[in-house]
Structure 1
Amino acid sequence: MKILRLILAIIVVAVSSYGLTTGNSEVLIPYALLFLGLMLLVTGITEFKERRKANAIILFIVTGFSFFVAAYTF
């Protein structure tokens, strides 16, 4: 799970940086939000497995919001 979270974090940073440097941020932001939501989902599952349910619930709520905003901007 740590490797998957790291890969997703690198993808989010790469897509966001590319969007900011090229000026195409309005096109790439939904993809960055989608990968950010996936990263938060993986983090929430990890927190849930470690018996930190309060943190996991908050992460799941933020994941849902991130997916909603990504779907709305597509």
Structure 2
Amino acid sequence: MKKSRIILAIIVFGLSCYSLTTKNFEMMPYLMFFLAIFMLVTGLAELQKDRKSFWGYMSIIVFLFALFVSIQGFLLN
């Protein structure tokens, strides 16, 4: 889980830096998709630690919202 979180964080950071430096926002649905997967992995990691905390559930809710936004971005472009 830790390696996948690091890899996803690097992908999200790289895509966001690319979008900001080139002012090309066509990659935004991909950025939102990878951010959604990152939030899902983070939420599942929190829930696996047997800490049924607020942040584990909140990460999964943010995953659902970001996934919805990325799907809309794919369909509208």
TM-score using structure 2 length: 0.88
Q: Kindly, what percent of the aligned residue pairs are identical?
A: 44
4+ residue segments displaced more than 3 Å: none
**Structure 2 SS opposite 1:68:** helix
Kindly state the Cα deviation for residue 52 of structure 1 after the two structures are TM-superposed. Answer: 2.2
Q: Distance in 2 between matches of 1:64 and 1:49?
A: 19
- Cα distance in 1 between the residues matched to 2:40 and 2:51: 14
Distance in 2 of aligned mates of 1:37 and 1:52: 21
Count residues in correspondence. Answer: 73
Measured in 2, the distance between the counterparts of 1:52 and 1:73 equals: 34
For structure 1, the residue ranges without an aligned partner over 5 or more in a row are none
Query: Deviations for 1:13-55, whole angstroms, at most 9, x for unmatched residues?
Result: 1011111111211x11111110011111111110110122232
* Alpha-carbon distance in 2 for matches of 1:21, 1:7: 21
- Determine if the alignment matches structure 1 residue 38 to structure 2 residue 37: yes
Higher helix share: 1
> Could you list the runs of 5+ residues in structure 2 that have no partner in the other structure?
none
